[in-house]
């Protein structure tokens, strides 16, 4: 998709008094393909979704895992129902099942191996950090989307390899500093006898557009 204009990344996701800047250059993009079989006189099939990154250097472009999220753009950016924008109701600050939107999520290891792919739900996660230009996302596995768990060894060496929810965290109020302060603090005390959250940084794409580094948390 070299030469394709930026689309989603040109949409303002903050109030006017909060920092936001449109990308100065063309960002890297993948292609999301959604397909279904529709035959006269028969029930239509369920939709199949796959993200493709066509690039001679694709396997070496990133040293981090890649997460691709696909959904109707209105679910994120529409003023009335979009959960990622200020919208008509300070949308990104809303909560509850009414503000959960359907997505398809794929997780690729840094070598290009597909870790998992499934339908899920997404909500905006956080409190004050929801005002920032890119938000934390909470991913929900539910039976109504197809699978009620994400079954994958997402955090090698961690005690759990299946999850009802995951967080793609923007690092909260550390967003403009290290972006790993909380993760580092938890890793330093992970050997002690209280609960901590595992951490993996990953590159996120929304509908094929590069969306920056997020911290994957349980």
User: Dihedrals φ, ψ of 193, to 5°?
Assistant: -90, 55
Give the pairing type, strands 66-70 and 209-217.
Answer: unpaired
* In-domain check, residue 40: no
* In-domain check, residue 41: no
* In-domain check, residue 2: no
The 10s digit of each residue's pLDDT in 117-160 is 999 999 999 999 999 999 999 999 999 999 999 999 999 989 89
Count of domains observed in the chain: 1
* In-domain check, residue 3: no
Query: Rounded to whole angstroms, what are the CA distances from 88 to 7, 99, 197?
Result: 21, 13, 34
* In-domain check, residue 144: yes
The 10s digit of each residue's pLDDT in 77-116 is 999 999 999 999 999 999 999 999 999 999 999 999 999 9
* In-domain check, residue 31: yes
- pTM, to two decimals: 0.94
- On the CB side of 86, how many CA atoms lie within 13 Å of its CA? 12
* In-domain check, residue 199: yes
* In-domain check, residue 166: yes
Which structural domain, as residue segments, surrounds residue 27? 8-35+46-217
């Amino acid at each position: 998709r070299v030469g394709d204009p930026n689309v989603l990344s040109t949409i303002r996701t903050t109030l006017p008094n909060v920092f936001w800047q449109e990308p100065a250059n063309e960002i890297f993009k993948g292609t999301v393909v959604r397909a279904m079989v529709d035959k006269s006189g028969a029930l239509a099939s369920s939709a199949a979704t796959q993200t493709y990154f066509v690039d001679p250097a694709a396997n070496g472009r990133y040293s981090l895992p890649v997460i691709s999220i696909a959904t109707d753009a209105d679910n994120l950016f529409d003023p009335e129902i979009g959960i990622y924008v200020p919208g008509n109701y300070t949308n990104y600050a809303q909560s509850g099942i009414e503000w959960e939107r359907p997505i398809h999520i794929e997780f690729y290891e840094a070598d290009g191996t597909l870790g998992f792919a499934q339908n899920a739900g997404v909500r905006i996660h956080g409190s004050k950090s929801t005002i920032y230009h890119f938000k934390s996302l909470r991913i929900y596995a539910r039976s109504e989307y197809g699978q009620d768990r994400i079954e994958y060894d997402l955090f090698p060496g961690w005690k759990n390899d299946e999850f009802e929810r995951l967080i793609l965290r923007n690092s909260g109020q550390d967003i403009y500093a290290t972006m790993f302060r909380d993760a580092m603090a938890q890793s330093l005390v992970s050997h002690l006898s209280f609960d901590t959250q595992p951490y993996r940084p990953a590159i996120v794409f929304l509908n094929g557009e590069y969306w920056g580094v997020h911290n994957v948390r349980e």
